[in-house]
């Protein structure tokens, strides 16, 4: 993407005012998105994103600049204007010899995405539409999208790093809307992977279409969820968004380093029930949130965050490493060249326990069974989190009873993790997009079925 001599000269310009580190992140990304509404292909979009981000560090002071114009002249100008913000640094830093390193690719990509797959993808989407529509007469509308992305990156820095990687993403999203009189409810299923077109070919599309329709149909006929503090069973897979919000964001060095996370200074302390072991693993082959190298060029790792309830580690990027005096955990990520990297999650999950789903349900006299989760958010400073349940049922006398809609779960991270009193043996991962300071990123959220002994459920029914 960029010549080595150009990189060298740009990094040199970035150090002119005495910065102690400079980095280039160049990106050339093409993406395609097909959208089908009610079985008709309504839109097909293609785009090419291209740009270069330059970061200059002096101690804890970070300057970030980006541009779409990658001519040498403009890159040097951009580096100089970034460097101009650094003043009073000790002169004398210099660029080390750039050592081009080869990235070990852990992810098999079968078929690279390109526009020749459009027609085949449309056939697959039409299958999703037919299955979703045939599921129940109350299905009134479907919206299906298929997306692919091919991201070429180059990262170089003044420590001598020069590395390139190619990242491939493929995802299908199926949304079904059920109508019952004046009521409308939607259901969604969105499988995705760090993989090529072969992912869609091997996917059980019918199963995902039926899932989206099942949620919509069940919820349109459901009554309102109760309000108050109840035991909550959260099913496996994307249910791991609970951990992602309740705890994961609070373990990112972006929040921990300045001391604005409730988890700051708690390594070695008990922060969760002894049943909880939680991991962030960027290395899982072909997983939606995996990377060979993070967006600072560091190899991704398997990071144990909590082991048997004890806090073991944080998610740390380069700035976090400087501020905390701890090594990077390969967790520096950014949506694109338009964002400075920040510590972010990859594939975060709670490890398997020993209970079965059936045992957990049978052991619950009255509570909520959250079968399918929506998204959520957290304030890391207060650890207040919230998330929406897509599909929920009442548990009564140890059995799944009637469905309920509109259940929102809220709580405080440490409090909620301490109240996990049963952990299943059926770990699965779900795919989501995580939005934060460095943009919107693919992440996996995973867990086995778990039970929280008490959570605040926000429904509409006074019970």
Of 91-99, 153-161, 395-403, 409-417, the segment contacting other proteins by CB under 8 A is: 409-417
Interactions with other proteins, residue window 182-221 (CB under 8 A): 182-186
- Within 55-117, residue ranges assigned H as helices are 72-84
Strand partners, 435: 440
The helix or strand, by DSSP H or E, that contains position 207, with its residue range, turns out to be helix 205-220
User: Rounded to a whole number, what is the largest CA-CA distance in the chain?
Assistant: 73
Assigned token pair, 440: 């919107």
Nearer to other proteins, 86 or 287 (CB): 86
The only residue of 258, 312, 352, 428 in contact with other proteins, by rule CB under 8 A: 258
Q: Count of residues binding other proteins (CB under 8 A)?
A: 80
DSSP 297-327: SPBP-EEEEEETTEE---B--HHHHHHHTS-
Binding status of residue 453 toward other proteins by CB under 8 A: no
Nearer to other proteins, 250 or 448 (CB): 250
Nearer to other proteins, 188 or 314 (CB): 188
Assigned token pair, 376: 């959520």
The only residue of 1, 2, 6, 122 in contact with other proteins, by rule CB under 8 A: 122
The helix or strand, by DSSP H or E, that contains position 361, with its residue range, turns out to be helix 357-362
Nearer to other proteins, 299 or 412 (CB): 412
Binding status of residue 51 toward other proteins by CB under 8 A: yes
Interactions with other proteins, residue window 340-379 (CB under 8 A): 340, 374-377, 379
Nearer to other proteins, 141 or 425 (CB): 141
Question: Quick one: DSSP state of residue 413?
Answer: H
Whose structure tokens read 């299905």?
A: 139
> What is the CA angle 131-133-137, rounded to 5?
130
Binding status of residue 459 toward other proteins by CB under 8 A: yes
The rounded distance, in Å, linking the Cα atoms of 140 and 39 is: 11
Nearer to other proteins, 225 or 272 (CB): 225
Interactions with other proteins, residue window 278-317 (CB under 8 A): none
Interactions with other proteins, residue window 130-149 (CB under 8 A): 140-141, 143
The only residue of 12, 18, 49, 453 in contact with other proteins, by rule CB under 8 A: 49
Interactions with other proteins, residue window 73-92 (CB under 8 A): 78, 81-82, 85
Binding status of residue 326 toward other proteins by CB under 8 A: no
* Strand residues in 364-406 grouped as ranges (E): 366-379, 384-396, 399-405
Binding status of residue 269 toward other proteins by CB under 8 A: no
Half-sphere exposure of 42 (CA within 13 A, CB side): 9
| In the complex, least distance from residue 335 CB atom to other proteins, rounded to whole angstroms | 13
The only residue of 127, 266, 338, 357 in contact with other proteins, by rule CB under 8 A: 338
Binding status of residue 265 toward other proteins by CB under 8 A: no
Question: End-to-end alpha-carbon separation of the chain, Å?
Answer: 62
**How far from the centroid of its chain's Cα atoms is residue 353's Cα?**
23
Binding status of residue 406 toward other proteins by CB under 8 A: yes
């Amino acid at each position: 993407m960029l010549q080595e001599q150009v990189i060298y000269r740009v990094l040199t310009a970035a150090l002119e005012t005495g910065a102690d580190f400079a980095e280039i992140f160049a990106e050339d990304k093409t993406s395609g998105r097909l959208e089908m509404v009610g079985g008709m292909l309504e839109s097909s979009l293609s785009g090419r994103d291209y740009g270069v981000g330059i970061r200059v560090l002096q101690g804890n002071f970070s300057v970030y600049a980006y541009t779409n114009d990658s001519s040498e002249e403009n890159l040097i100008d951009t580096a100089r204007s970034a460097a101009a913000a650094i003043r009073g640094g000790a002169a004398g830093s210099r660029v080390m010899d750039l050592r081009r390193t080869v990235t070990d690719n852990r992810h098999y990509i079968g078929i690279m995405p390109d526009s020749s797959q459009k027609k085949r993808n449309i056939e697959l989407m039409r299958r999703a539409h037919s299955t979703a529509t045939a599921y129940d007469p109350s299905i009134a509308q479907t919206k299906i999208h298929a997306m692919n992305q091919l991201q070429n990156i180059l990262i170089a820095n003044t420590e001598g790093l020069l590395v390139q990687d190619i990242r491939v993403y493929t995802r299908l999203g199926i949304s079904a809307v059920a109508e019952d009189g004046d009521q409308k409810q939607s259901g969604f299923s969105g499988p995705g992977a760090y993989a090529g077109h072969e992912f869609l070919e091997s996917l059980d599309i019918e199963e995902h279409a039926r899932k989206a329709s099942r949620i919509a149909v069940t919820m349109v006929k459901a009554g309102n969820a109760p309000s108050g503090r109840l035991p909550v069973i959260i099913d496996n897979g994307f249910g791991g968004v609970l951990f992602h919000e309740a705890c994961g964001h609070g373990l990112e060095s972006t929040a921990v380093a300045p001391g604005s996370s409730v988890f700051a200074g708690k390594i070695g302390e008990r922060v969760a029930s002894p049943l909880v072991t939680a991991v962030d693993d960027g290395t899982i082959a072909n997983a939606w949130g995996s990377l060979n190298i993070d967006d600072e060029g560091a190899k991704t790792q398997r990071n144990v965050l909590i082991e048997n309830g004890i806090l073991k580690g944080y998610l740390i990027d380069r700035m976090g490493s400087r501020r905390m005096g701890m090594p990077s955990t390969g967790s520096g990520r950014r949506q694109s060249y338009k964002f400075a990297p920040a510590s972010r999650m990859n594939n975060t999950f709670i490890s398997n326990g020993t209970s079965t789903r059936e045992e957990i349900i049978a052991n619950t006299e009255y509570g909520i069974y959250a079968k399918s989760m929506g998204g959520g958010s957290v304030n890391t400073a207060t650890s207040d989190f919230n998330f929406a349940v897509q599909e929920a049922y009442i548990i009564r006398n140890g059995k799944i009873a009637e469905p309920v809609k509109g259940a929102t779960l809220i709580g405080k991270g440490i409090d909620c993790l301490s109240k996990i009193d049963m952990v299943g043996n059926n770990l699965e991962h779900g795919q989501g997009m995580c939005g934060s300071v460095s943009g919107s990123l693919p992440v996996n959220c995973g867990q086995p079925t778990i039970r929280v002994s008490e959570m605040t459920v926000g429904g509409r029914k006074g019970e």
